[in-house]
């Protein structure tokens, strides 16, 4: 669990530099490193019955600060992985989980490259399927990031894109996202939020079609 917010802020400031790099593979690598941060965030915390109400509130505030950053790092299918992790958490408040996935989907729609993933996720979670979808938080971690033989640590800069593409193929797929139950979808605020997301998605598709026409 991430508990030292000062260290995290310093880390996130440095990591944000990679997100503005001119080389796309470096930006993608930055997203994958954020996946490791998400792994630490979603790890179950220790249950301490002696924890005071004040300590609990302080920890909750720290986690909320971290989440506000994570929920905006949704490129390179990070959004897919985060939604799978949110819905796969145990002992979580359902309303909070649903609110978070709607926010993540909305943030994904701010970039045209994420529209296909949003459509796939929306189609899946609203399908009312009842099959169980197993989830392990370790799926957020890509061993190749920490490996040298073979792995990222032994890759030369000019070959970085090849290593990144290989890692992207092993990330959590859409199939790791849990289906929403009929009761979850039937909640008025959830249903309205989904309709709003579909409208935003269609608007983005129209913009994409128009840009294709203008280029040709």
Q: Where are the domains of the chain?
A: 5-215
CA torsion sign for 137, 139, 144, 145 is: negative
Distance CA 193, CA 189 (A): 6
Q: Is the pTM of this model over 0.75?
A: yes
**CB crowding 27-62: b at 16 or more within 10 Å, else e:** bbbbbbbbbebbbebbeeeeeeeeeeeeeeeeeeeb
Give the pLDDT score at 209.
60
Number of other CB atoms surrounding residue 133 within 10 Å: 14
208 pLDDT above the threshold of 70: no
Percent of the residues in the chain that have a pLDDT greater than 90, as a whole number: 37
């Amino acid at each position: 669990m991430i508990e030292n917010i000062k260290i995290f802020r310093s880390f996130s400031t440095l990591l944000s530099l990679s997100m503005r790099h001119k080389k796309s593979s470096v930006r993608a690598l930055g997203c994958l490193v954020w996946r490791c941060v998400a792994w630490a965030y979603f790890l179950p915390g220790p249950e301490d019955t002696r924890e005071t109400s004040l300590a609990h509130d302080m920890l909750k505030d720290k986690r909320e600060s971290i989440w506000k950053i994570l929920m905006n790092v949704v490129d390179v299918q990070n959004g897919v992985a985060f939604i799978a992790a949110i819905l796969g958490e145990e002992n979580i408040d359902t309303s909070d989980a649903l609110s978070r996935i709607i926010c993540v989907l909305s943030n994904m729609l701010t970039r045209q490259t994420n529209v296909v993933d949003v459509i796939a996720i929306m189609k899946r979670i609203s399908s009312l399927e009842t099959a169980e979808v197993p989830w392990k938080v370790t799926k957020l971690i890509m061993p190749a990031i920490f490996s040298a033989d073979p792995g990222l640590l032994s890759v030369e800069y000019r070959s970085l894109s090849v290593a990144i593409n290989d890692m992207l193929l092993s990330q959590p797929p859409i199939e790791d996202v849990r289906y929403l139950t009929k009761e979850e979808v039937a909640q008025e605020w959830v249903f309205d939020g989904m309709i709003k997301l579909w409208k935003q998605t269609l608007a983005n598709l129209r913009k994409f079609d128009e840009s294709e026409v203008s280029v040709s």
